[in-house]
Amino acid sequence: MKETIMNWLTHTGWTNNFTNFGINLLIAIAIYLAGKWLARRIVKLIDKLMLKRQLDEVLRQFICSILSVLLSFVVVLIALEQVGVDTTSLLALLGAAGLAVGLALKDSLSNFASGVMLILFKPFKAGDFVEAGGSKGVVENVGMFTTQMRTADNKEINVPNANIYGSTIVNYSAKPTRRIDLVIGVGYDDDLKKAKTILERIVQSEPRILDEPSAVIAVSELADSSVNFVVRPWVKTADYWEVKWFLTEEIKLAFDAEGISIPYPQQDVHMHPVQSAA
Residue 196 has pLDDT above 80, yes or no: yes
Could you give phi then psi for residue 155, rounded to 5 degrees? -100, 145
Note the pLDDT tens digit of each residue in 215-235: 999 999 999 889 999 999 999
Q: Which of 160, 166, 165, 155 is nearest to 124 (CA)?
A: 165
Is residue 9 pLDDT above 90, yes or no? Answer: no
pLDDT at 3 over 90: no
161, 165, 169, 171 alpha-carbon torsion, rounded to 10°:
60
Q: Of 172, 251, 257, whose CA–CA distance to 206 is shortest? A: 251
- Under 8 Å between Cβ of 210 and 177: yes
Q: How confident is the model at residue 252 (pLDDT cuts 50, 70, 90)?
A: very high
Mean of pLDDT over the chain:
82
pLDDT in tens, 32-91: 888 888 888 888 888 888 888 777 666 677 677 778 878 887 888 777 777 776 666 666
pLDDT in tens, 82-121: 777 666 666 666 666 565 555 554 567 788 888 888 877 8
More confident residue, 93 or 135: 135
- Does residue 68 contact residue 131 with C-beta atoms inside 8 Å? no
pTM confidence score: 0.63
- CA 260 from centre of chain: 46
Average pLDDT over residues 173-194: 94
Q: Judging by DSSP bridges, how do beta strands 177-179 and 234-236 pair with one another?
A: antiparallel
- CA-based radius of gyration for the chain: 37
Q: Provide the pLDDT for residue 46.
A: 86
Instruction: Tell me the residue length of the chain.
Output: 278
Provide the pLDDT for residue 47: 85
Angle at 38 between CA 37 and CA 43, to 5 degrees: 100
Q: Which of the pair, 272 or 278, is modelled with greater confidence?
A: 272
Mean pLDDT for 227-247 is 95
Could you give the percent of the chain with pLDDT greater than 90?
41
